[in-house]
């Protein structure tokens, strides 16, 4: 089963994080992706927005 675009992005972020890479998603984008995943899964995150 092929990955969705969102899953591809998430996988890239995880690979970059695991490898310590600085390419790919920025920290802000990675945090935004994490927030969107949590929101989709119904989890609530209480934190200050990154500006």
pLDDT tens digit sequence for 21-51: 555 667 787 778 788 888 888 776 666 666 6
Q: Give the three-class secondary structure for 24.
A: coil
Alpha-helical (H) ranges within the chain are 5-19, 27-40
Give the per-residue pLDDT at 24: 61
Give the per-residue pLDDT at 6: 85
Cα–Cα distances (Å) from 15 to 27, 32, 50, 51, in that order, read 14, 17, 23, 25
Find the angle CA(24)-CA(1)-CA(40) to the nearest 5 degrees: 60
Give the per-residue pLDDT at 45: 60
Interatomic CA distance for residues 29 and 43, integer angstroms: 19
Give the per-residue pLDDT at 25: 67
């Amino acid at each position: 089963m092929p990955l969705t675009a969102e899953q591809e992005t998430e996988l890239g972020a995880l690979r970059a994080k695991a490898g310590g890479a600085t390419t790919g998603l920025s920290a802000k984008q990675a945090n935004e992706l994490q927030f969107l995943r949590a929101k989709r899964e119904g989890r609530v995150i209480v934190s200050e927005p990154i500006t």
